Structures are given as C-alpha cells and as structure tokens.
C-alpha cells in the first residue's frame, strides 16, 4: 500500500464536503461510526478538521461539536485506510482538543467503538448517565436509538 506524501491537517472547506461524506459513509457501512447527511455536514462544516493532501485529496476528518457551556464532543473521526497507523488519527483529535481550549471548553467527550485509541489520547470511560441530557438530542435520529452500544469517554484538560 502506497503511503501518500504531502499531507497535513487544516480546517475543512466547503469543497471538502462530498469527500468527507464519502469517507464517513465508508466507515459507517462497516458499522464503525454513524453516518452524517449532507445537510448535517454543510451546517456543521465549521466543526471539521481534515487531513488534506497537496494534490487536493481528503484522507481524514474529525469534528469538534459544542454541546453546552462547558462541554464539547469529538465526533466523525475517520482516517483513510492507507494513512492509518501513522499518528494522523491522534493529530486530528489533538487539533479538536486544541480548538476546544481556544474556545474555553475544557471537558470533551466522545461516543465510540474505538475505546483503546481514545485511551491512548488520555480519554477515560465514563458512565453515559454522567453526560447531560443535551448530549442525546442527535441520538433521536440514530438508527440504533434507544439501544446505543457506543462507549462514552471523556477527557478534562
């Protein structure tokens, strides 16, 4: 497998939406994360960081979504298979954590099947009961609702 060169992390642009959508759809078909509609991606595009290549390809993404005055969520994390295992997933999450600090938010949670990956970044498993009700607003649209089997994790910075 050829490892792409000239890749870096930047904020998402409007031209990236279709590629972000395709990346997330690929992972969601494998049951790894929840799909996001074009409507959601356009309206939340400012939340996203992408792993971009000089030639224009988008090889990864991650979003920081503000939940409430002291809480934000890391979501929609995906790295293209050819770029995995090189620290890009970690850097994408760190970009979101850094953004949270800039915004003055120091408690971040995530809902994930990749508990070990997030543990490596300092997240800890928490009870879903410890997350505020507001967190579950999007879940009403989830095909798995109300039987969520994702693991809740959080980090305090």
Ligand X SMILES: CC(=O)SCCNC(=O)CCNC(=O)[C@H](O)C(C)(C)COP(=O)(O)OP(=O)(O)OC[C@H]1O[C@@H](n2cnc3c(N)ncnc32)[C@H](O)[C@@H]1OP(=O)(O)O
Binding site for ligand X (CB under 6 A): 27, 32-33, 74-79, 84-90, 110, 112, 114, 116-117, 120
- The CB-of-140 to ligand X minimum distance in angstroms stands at 18
How far apart are alpha carbons 4 and 133 in whole angstroms? 41
Beta bridge partners of 10: 50
How far apart are alpha carbons 119 and 151 in whole angstroms? 12
Residue for token pair 């090889």: 59
Our CB check for ligand X shows the closer of 13 and 90 to be 90
Our CB check for ligand X shows the closer of 64 and 103 to be 64
Closest residue to ligand X, judged by C-beta, is 89
Give the HSE-up count for residue 91: Cα atoms under 13 Å, Cβ half-sphere: 17
- The CB-of-56 to ligand X minimum distance in angstroms stands at 20
- The CB-of-34 to ligand X minimum distance in angstroms stands at 8
- Cβ neighbours around 105 below 10 Å, total: 19
């Amino acid at each position: 497998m050829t490892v792409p060169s000239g890749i870096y992390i930047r904020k998402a642009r409007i031209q990236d939406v279709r590629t972000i959508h395709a990346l997330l759809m690929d992972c969601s078909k494998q049951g790894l994360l929840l799909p996001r509609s074009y409507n959601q991606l356009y309206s939340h595009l400012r939340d996203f960081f992408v792993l971009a290549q000089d030639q224009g390809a988008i090889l990864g993404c991650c979003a920081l979504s503000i939940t409430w005055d002291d809480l934000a969520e890391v979501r929609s994390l995906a790295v293209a298979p050819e770029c995995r295992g090189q620290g890009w997933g970690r850097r994408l999450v760190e970009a979101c954590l850094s953004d949270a600090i800039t915004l003055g938010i120091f408690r971040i949670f995530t809902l994930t099947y990749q508990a070990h990956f997030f543990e490596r970044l300092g997240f800890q498993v928490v009870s879903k009961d410890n997350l505020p009700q507001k967190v579950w607003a999007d879940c009403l649209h989830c095909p798995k609702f109300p039987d969520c089997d994702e693991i809740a994790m959080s980090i305090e910075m």
